[in-house]
Amino acid sequence: MNSVSGITLRGVKAVPVEVEVEITGGLFNISVVGLPDTAVREARERVRAALRSVGITLRGRVAINLAPADVPKEGALLDLAIAVAIACVQGGVKVKKPSLFIGELALDGRLRKV
């Protein structure tokens, strides 16, 4: 398991979010828990395509926990944090702590404005 930091917005206030990722064996599946809205749930496809574009192919069961669980997560701000956490677990990427990752991903891996 690995975790990185991201944020979500509550009105105009930035709320810290810890993005935890665990990858286990089994059939490929990505699950996101921690009160994600539709845009956050759709991050599964954006992140999968973006990682594939840089040579990381997801395998197995990918569990993504967005903590704290009681805070609603909205928008695509967590795309980059999710991708980095997955890349740390599966792709051997190392991240210096503390680091904060904010950004929406395009399918080809480009960062979009947020």
List, for residues 15-67, the tens digit of each pLDDT value.
999 999 999 999 999 999 999 999 999 999 999 999 999 999 999 999 999 99
Residue 99 tokens, joined: 């680091």
Query: pTM to 2 decimals?
Result: 0.95
| 69 SS3 class | coil
Kindly give the pairing relationship between strand 104-105 and strand 2-10: unpaired
Phi/psi for 17 (5° steps) reads -130, 130
* Domains and their CATH numbers in the chain: 2-108 (3.30.230.10)
List, for residues 53-81, the tens digit of each pLDDT value.
999 999 999 999 999 999 999 999 999 99
Instruction: Please count the other Cβ atoms lying within 10 Å of the Cβ belonging to residue 36.
Output: 19
Instruction: Please count the other Cβ atoms lying within 10 Å of the Cβ belonging to residue 3.
Output: 18
